[in-house]
Copies of this chain bind each other. A is one copy, B any other.
Amino acid sequence: MNVVIENYTRTDTKIASDLGRYGVATIHEAQGRKGLLAPHMRPIYRGAHISGTAITVSVPPCDNWMIHVAAEICMEGDIMVVAPTSCSDAGYFGDLLGTLLMSRGVRGLVIDAGVRDVVDLEKMGFPVWSKCISAQGTVKETLGSVNVPVVCGGQTIHPGDVIVADDDGVVVVERQEAADVLTKSAQREEKEAGIRKRYAAGELGLDMNNMRPQLAAKGLKYPDRKEPTSK
């Protein structure tokens, strides 16, 4: 059955926006190394960094009709997540749909398929993370669903989850965990700032994290050293 779900719970707006202060790698780590979409999801231009709540669109292969349906219920702060039900590299989205979504406050698109008009999308400042760039047209013949859970880039995404995307890729944060992940991301970033300073000063991770005994215990050999682990 094909449905459009309108009553779903978005992650708190401020939390979703604040998560955008942190990079995808930081958030992925802060939430216990999960939620990262597959590395084939690449930005169509470099330098964009967005966060927002997912509006999910399950589309038939090579059919973008449901993007129009979803557009009606988009809100300021949304990121659209589009997943075809079968592998496809057609171009489901271009500058016209980008214009439509921007007018409704959508912050960007994550699509496990192709996108086109990338020059115009970059000029407009509408960022997209996609599997490929392709001008191949799609049709409007078959129904899909809006705001059902989808698998995109190998991750299950629920409507209302937080999406963060930057040049490293795309990560999803479950709504229930978003506040916690925000706190942990801030902590991680602070901690990393300290590590960065020490690394820049020439300190080794081996010493900072006292790794030498563990390495020796696992059996690592330094055949060219007289006194292997106490250098």
Which positions in A face B, CB cutoff 8 Å?
1-7, 23-25, 28-29, 32-34, 36, 38-39, 42, 47, 49, 60-62, 65, 68-69, 71-72, 85-91, 94-97, 99-100, 102-104, 114, 116-119, 132-137, 139-143, 149, 151, 154-156, 166-169, 171, 192, 195-196, 199-202, 204-206, 209, 211, 215, 218-225, 231
Contacts and interface: CB of A to CB of B under 8 A. Distances in A.
Given A6-B224, A39-B89, A104-B202, 8 more contacts: A2-B219, A23-B117, A25-B135, A34-B85, A47-B119, A68-B204, A88-B88, A143-B220
Given A39-B89, A149-B156, A221-B1, A72 B206 contact: yes
A135 to B, nearest CB: 4
Contacts of A72: 204, 206, 231
Nearest to A83: B154
A15 B184 CA distance: 44
Nearest to A33: B137
Copies of this chain, whole number:
6
B68 A205 contact: yes
A121 to B, nearest CB: 10
A228 to B, nearest CB: 9
Given A60-B62, A151-B154, A39 B114 contact: yes
24 contacts: A1-B32, A2-B219, A5-B223, A6-B224, A25-B94, A28-B137, A33-B85, A33-B136, A33-B137, A60-B62, A62-B88, A68-B206, A86-B88, A87-B87, A91-B168, A95-B196, A100-B205, A102-B200, A104-B202, A118-B167, A135-B168, A141-B141, A141-B142, A143-B215
A35 B64 CA distance: 20
B199 A96 contact: yes
**Which 10 A-B pairs give the minimum distances between C-beta atoms?**
A141-B141, A25-B135, A68-B205, A39-B134, A100-B199, A6-B224, A61-B62, A7-B224, A99-B199, A135-B168
